[in-house]
Amino acid sequence: MEKLLDIRNLRTYFYTEDGVVPAVDGVSFYIKPGETLGVVGESGCGKSVTSISTLRLVPNPPGKIMEGSEIIFEGTDLLKLSEAEMRKIRGNKISMIFQEPMTSLNPVFRIGDQIAEVLLLHQGLNKAEAREKAIEMLKLVGIPRPEKVVDDYPHSLSGGMRQRVMIAMALACNPRLLIADEPTTALDVTVQAQILDLMNDLKKKVNAAVMLITHNLGVVAESCDRVVVMYAGKVVEEGDVYSIFEDPKHPYTVGLLKSMPSAVGGQDKLDSIPGVVPNPLNLPKGCRFAPRCNKAMDICREKQPGLTVLGEERTVRCFLYNREDGVK
Ligand code: SF4
Ligand code: MG
């Protein structure tokens, strides 16, 4: 199987005054060319740190990607590249869009100049060509009157339109991988749907793979081929989108699905997971989900569960499925 991105045993720790925070603690997953992988979990589970680690944008200090981590992209370990080599990959082969476009677009530069910047840097276009291409990209992402908007400043656009601009910038260099961290969370529900449709449509056109980071399982159902569920810095379940929704195995995944707003019932929350994500400075000794788990057994409070392979591309980290321990 061809892997575009293969993250192996990624550990990203933060050295704070209060102690060491293992924000990402031994995470492994891969993305195949052209597919959309959803990375889901509540906030504080390590999703965003995983994404910024992939681009080597972890602020150091206090953050550090630990020895033994590997981020293999197109066969090369990104952690072994120089910063100069890494700059050729960011915004070019791997690009990223964030939750709040106002913080990612520079308010003092015209929109066209910001799109042109990536083209000047990575594609060797001259200024006039870059401007033409910027207008073309704005058209592609459905911005009305692109010839005018190209000279506007970010504040004159709505949140949805700014996110379209971010997508235009992210796709301008035909990346192989687009990392989208909560790309629609800050937007109205109707605009969210439009932006997701646009992303799904464009990623096919440019044949990019997507790492879609979200806490919203509705977004996952709309867009993803496969899903990785994260909890407290670890991957707890992995599978194709149908198995995850039809037959979730990990009690955390089951809880996430139950707390999804019902599409038909009109009920806002069917159920939810009690408690909160554990303090990373004071993690439970055994399974990190044990304090919130309605299936917890004695062993769960003593030992950390390993990954159990359930089938092809289907794994879970939970003692309920760990045959070695003779449970189920
Ligand atoms: Fe629950 Fe135990 Fe499974 Fe953890 S290992 S999710 S506590 S059953
Ligand atoms: Mg986040």
Q: pLDDT per residue over 120-165, tens digit each?
A: 888 888 999 999 999 999 998 999 999 999 999 999 998 888 888 9
Give the chain's domain count.
Answer: 2
Question: Do 104 and 160 fall into the same domain?
Answer: yes
CA of 139 from ligand 2 middle (Å) equals 30
Same domain, 151 and 213: no
| Closest to 63 in 3D by CA, of 49, 76, 73 | 49
Question: Are both 161 and 113 inside the same structural domain?
Answer: yes
Instruction: Say yes or no: 100 and 148 in one domain.
Output: yes
Ligand 1 centroid, distance to 135 Cα (angstroms): 52
Clarify whether residues 263 and 158 are in a common domain. no
Contact 313, 240 (CB under 8 A): yes
pLDDT, residue 311, reads 92
Mutation test of ligand 1: which of 320, 322, 328 has the most ligand atoms closer than 8 Å to its C-beta? 320
CA angle at residue 84 from 86 to 120, to 5 degrees?
85
Q: Do both 217 and 298 map to the same domain?
A: yes
Examine the fold and report which residue of 172, 188, 208 is the final residue of a domain before the chain moves on.
Answer: 172
Are 293 and 228 found together in one domain? yes
Establish whether this prediction's ipTM goes over 0.90: yes
d(CA 3, CA 327): 33
Query: Same structural domain for residues 123 and 161?
Result: yes
Domain residues for 206? 5-93+173-325
CATH classification of the domain holding 266: 3.40.50.300
Residues 55 and 98 in one domain: no
Regions in the chain scoring below 50 on pLDDT: 263-270, 326-328
Question: Which of 157, 172, 187 is at the close of a domain?
Answer: 172
